[in-house]
């Protein structure tokens, strides 16, 4: 087991970008950048004994900051903050005061704003084999959010091929907080569409969305809909092939308890990815808007070439009082744990 820091030679906003390599006793390997807390590689051994990278990303840090990539930006492998997904109208109210955020052309705020935590260089606080703890201090007013927010994020690679992500945050003024990890997974040895991956989500309900993907506050049953993943089924079995999935699911659990969020298997590799989380929501996205050229080994990442399981609180919950709260106050601690576990089938 080891943790290795690698200099990239890249400096952003006066801060050095480092690669952090985690290796366990099985030889599984995770590469993380302190820029965006990006998981750029997750290499495991499939049932054939071959090493296989199961996440989309780039071979070089320069590609993550290239104009071409940022023009059609899918947040490959990054941590999202201060607020995951969409905030309706790019605004919210705390204690009678309104706050206005950066908005996209549809009028909503997305994934923390124009330069969210996915575009920040985090400080490397500590390394303990095989793990790393990163810190980012977001100043009051950044992207329109109140309060100075201190965030600490730990990635650990266990000998059971679990990538464990723990996030804690504190603030000096009431603020809205909702983190997620935006990893893009493909378990097939040669990539391609994830339509034939078999997926299960233990969620009896999903969140209604408007046409602009903002959550309305209604909770709807999955029964009889294309969103029913209670029994395992191929991802592409019921989807609209032009749309795929971009939907928040309400997990059948008590918020705050570690529970299964999803299971995904792929026959050719014989790999199974299980996601566990303390969060109440798993947002399932099948990369409709992904069109990335020159990925790892020159690959083209086309629409539907990956799936994301974004564990979080409900999108727009800061504006929906009935939903579990995303308001963080001084002397409180935000806490989230999510585990991405790889196993062999059979």
Tokens representing 258 are 């570690």
Mean pLDDT of 216-234: 98
pLDDT at residue number 1: 79
Tokens representing 309 are 């399981």
Residue 295 has pLDDT above 80, yes or no: yes
Residue 138 has pLDDT above 90, yes or no: yes
Mention every residue, 6+ apart, whose C-beta is less than 8 A from residue 96: none
Report pLDDT digits (tens) over 154-206: 999 999 999 999 999 999 999 999 999 999 999 999 999 999 999 999 999 99
Residue 125's CB is within 10 A of a number of other CB atoms, namely 12
What is the C-alpha R_g of the chain? 19
Report pLDDT digits (tens) over 77-112: 999 999 999 999 999 999 999 999 999 999 999 999
**Residue 310: active-site member:** yes
pLDDT at residue number 255: 72
Residue tagged active-site, from 21, 143, 266, 310: 310
CA dihedral 244, 111, 180, 259 (to 10 degrees): -50
Tokens representing 42 are 């997750």
Report pLDDT digits (tens) over 20-63: 999 999 999 999 999 999 999 999 999 999 999 999 999 999 99
Q: Which domains does the chain have, with CATH numbers?
A: 2-344 (2.70.98.10)
With 0.95 as the threshold, say if the pTM is over it.
Answer: yes
Residue 149 has pLDDT above 90, yes or no: yes
Residue tagged active-site, from 21, 111, 162, 182: 182
Find out whether 176 and 326 touch, Cβ atoms under 8 Å: yes
Residue 266 has pLDDT above 80, yes or no: yes
Mean pLDDT, the chain, integer: 97
Residue with tokens 């009678």: 96
| Of 97, 104, 181, nearest in space to 145 by CA | 97
pLDDT at residue number 238: 98
Tokens representing 185 are 């997974």
The CB-side HSE value for 24 (13 A sphere, CA atoms) comes to 19
Q: Which H or E run includes 239?
A: none
**Span between the terminal Cα atoms of the chain, in Å:** 27
Report pLDDT digits (tens) over 9-23: 999 999 999 999 999
Q: Is 318 left (phi over 0), alpha (psi -120 to 50) or beta?
A: alpha
Residue 269: burial class (beta carbons within 10 Å; 0-12, 13-18, 19+): buried
Q: What percent of the chain has pLDDT over 90?
A: 97
Residue 254 has pLDDT above 90, yes or no: no
Tokens representing 254 are 């008590």
Q: Where are the alpha helices (DSSP H) in the chain?
A: 61-64, 67-71
* Cα(313)–Cα(162) distance, integer angstroms: 22
**What is the DSSP secondary-structure string of 147-198?**
S-EEEEEEEEE-TTSEEEEEEEEEESS-EE-B-EEE--B--STT----TTSE
Name which of 53-57, 123-127, 132-136, 254-258 the model is least confident about: 254-258
**Residue 182: active-site member:** yes
């Amino acid at each position: 087991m080891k943790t290795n820091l690698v200099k990239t030679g890249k400096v952003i906003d006066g801060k050095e970008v480092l690669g952090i390599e985690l290796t366990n006793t099985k030889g599984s390997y995770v590469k993380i950048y302190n820029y965006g807390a990006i998981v750029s590689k997750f290499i495991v051994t499939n049932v054939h004994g071959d090493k296989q990278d199961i996440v989309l990303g780039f071979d070089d840090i320069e590609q993550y900051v290239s104009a071409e990539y940022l023009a059609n930006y899918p947040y490959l492998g990054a941590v999202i903050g201060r607020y995951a997904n969409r905030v309706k109208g790019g605004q919210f109210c705390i204690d009678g005061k309104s706050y206005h955020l950066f908005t996209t052309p549809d009028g909503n705020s997305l994934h923390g704003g124009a330069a969210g935590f996915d575009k920040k260089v985090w400080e490397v606080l500590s390394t303990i084999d095989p793990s790393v703890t990163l810190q980012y201090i977001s100043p009051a007013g950044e992207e329109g959010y109140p309060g100075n927010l201190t965030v600490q994020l730990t990635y650990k690679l266990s000998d059971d091929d679990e990538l464990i992500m723990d996030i804690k945050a504190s603030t000096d003024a009431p603020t809205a907080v909702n983190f997620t990890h935006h990893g893009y997974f493909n378990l097939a040895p040669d990539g391609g569409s994830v339509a034939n991956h078999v997926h299960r989500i233990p969620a009896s309900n999903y969140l209604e969305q408007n046409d602009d993907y903002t959550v309305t506050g209604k909770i709807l049953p999955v029964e009889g809909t294309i969103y029913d993943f209670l029994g395992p089924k191929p991802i592409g079995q019921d989807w609209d092939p032009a749309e795929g999935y971009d939907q928040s699911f309400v997990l059948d659990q008590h918020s705050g308890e570690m529970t299964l969020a999803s299971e995904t298997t792929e026959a050719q590799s014989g790999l199974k990815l299980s996601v566990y989380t303390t969060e109440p929501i798993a947002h399932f996205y099948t990369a409709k808007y992904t069109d990335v050229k020159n990925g790892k080994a020159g690959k083209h990442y086309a629409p539907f070439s990956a799936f994301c399981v974004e564990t979080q609180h409900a999108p727009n919950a800061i504006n929906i009082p009935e939903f579990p709260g995303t308001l963080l106050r001084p002397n409180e601690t935000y806490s989230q744990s999510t585990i991405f576990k790889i196993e062999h089938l059979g």
